[in-house]
Structure 1
């Protein structure tokens, strides 16, 4: 009798352990295409300003300044570094926002399908 009880306890314990190790009842799938776009927050960046503030690239996405800035001669406006301005960029969906320690804030809008800058200056 004691052997049957031990065997039953062992079987119940083994069943509980196996059930705890089982995978989820429904399969885990990849994110759907309708999932929200990933957000990148506060990534350090060097914004190219040599010909004014017009474009930005983050990873494989090219963005255009919502309001391009220059000094009227194709240079960055006063107070901006040349050829680069250090700062951070936050990307959310199709918008990227550049901020720096000088208080500059520029919003950029994604150019879907773009594979290069519109204009490369020297």
Structure 2
């Protein structure tokens, strides 16, 4: 018999992320999963899977939250036509308070840092 061995932290994160993404988390629960895109290190053209499931509004790069200059969605809370869902692979470049996402399909989104932000403005479930 082959057994699965998962660390407690990984299991807890997976359960919390699944609960939030399924809309099963309690109303007062803080977002536990990657509800928006997160980049841990940002150098020129750092690879990212931009979270697009509810549209393109925000991204987090290290400890800075960025808001799209021109948010994009289809008007129904989904990514626009031609974008991946729930993610769009591409790269992000940060220069000062600006972050620019680009992908192989020619999509470009410019984000600006939201001063003092400690969380995303909008969560998606």
Per the TM superposition, whether the score is higher than 0.5 is yes
Partner of 2:60: 57
**Which of 81, 90, 95 is residue 92 of structure 1 equivalent to?**
95
| Structure 2 Cα separation of the partners of residues 48 and 112 of structure 1 | 21
More helix by share: 1
TM-score by length of 1: 0.67
CA distance in 2, matches of 1:77, 1:44: 21
Q: Which has the larger radius of gyration?
A: 1
TM-score, structure 2 length as denominator? Answer: 0.65
* Match among 102, 116, 120 for residue 119 of structure 2: 116
The aligned counterpart of 1:71 is 74
Give the CA deviation at 1:40: 2.7
Q: Can you give the 5+ residue segments of structure 2 that lack an aligned partner in the other structure?
A: 1-41
Between the two proteins, the alignment pairs up a number of residues equal to: 84
Partner of 1:41: 44
Q: Give unpaired runs (5+ residues) of structure 1.
A: 1-38
